[in-house]
Amino acid sequence: MGFSNFRDRLTKSRQTLTRGISQLFRGAELDDEDFDDLEDLLISADIGVAASHRIVEAAKKEAKNKSISSVESLNSIIHSEMLGALAACKTVAEIAGRPYVMLVVGVNGVGKTTSVAKIAKYFQQQGKSVMLAAADTFRAAAIEQIQTWGQRMEIPVIAQHQGADAAAVAHDALTSAKSRNVDLLLIDTAGRQHTHIDLMQQLKKITRVLGKVEEKAPHEIMQVLDATTGQNAVSQLKHFNEAVGVDSLCLTKLDGTAKGGVIVAIAHEFQLPIRFVGIGESAEDLRPFDAKSFVDALLMPASK
């Protein structure tokens, strides 16, 4: 997907920013009130208080050196600061060793199971052999959904019945993946809030069981976040990170929200690698995250 299509999918998020930035200019240089308005605008776009303050302070510093008298010059500063925040994120891990175990977690309703299937499709297209594990044994529909995706993509799925021990499913899947010399094992887990003590303990049990089968497994715990929830996504990540340690992120539904700036807030606070972003319904709309393409699409610089 080219830049123009990616930009189109971020229309709601971009409009929140670009319209507000344009309205700051009243034919004169920016003053303190304008910078306060800019900070409010950035916060309203879910860029977060800390990241928004950092961007505004950078703009103020630049304004002391030379006047900021155009949308383009202000956009350039914001663009640079956003890229700086995203550049601080760690690099995504290589899918190396066999099998590489990716445990996928998140709260209910973020699109986790569908994302697991799309991620499987992506790596399959990269030439990796993939196996799926239906460790969301809480919902029968989740098991059926993963099995259906597996059949479509001709990817093996390890599953048991609804209500089965999720850790046992994960154990069986990793044992099978090792015997088949699979490149990547993707484990879907039940959606849970951080307040679901039993389910959070279940996640910890899954990681312990995997570690007994393969010393370093899971090699990556990926949390799926729904971008439409804005700052709630930041809160969710904080709780999961404290509970099990999150290694990477997948942000879904960027195409349907004005809160895409939350990616900057997350990057600023956690510095975790963002492996994938979802910008539509089809499998091709889940794509590897590229910081520059994202910031370009969010601000639509004049050069584009």
Tell me the pTM.
0.91
Is the CB of residue 54 less than 8 Å from the CB of residue 85? yes
Strands 248-252 and 157-158: unpaired
Whether the pLDDT of residue 146 is over 90: the answer is yes
CB 71 within 8 A of CB 155: no
Q: What is the pLDDT of residues 226-265, one digit of tens each?
A: 988 888 999 999 999 998 999 999 999 887 666 788 999 9
Q: Which of 18-22, 98-102, 171-175, 256-260 has the lowest mean pLDDT?
A: 256-260
pLDDT at 185 over 70: yes
Q: Are 255 and 73 in contact (CB under 8 A)?
A: no
Q: Worst-scoring range by mean pLDDT, 8-22, 47-61, 115-129?
A: 8-22
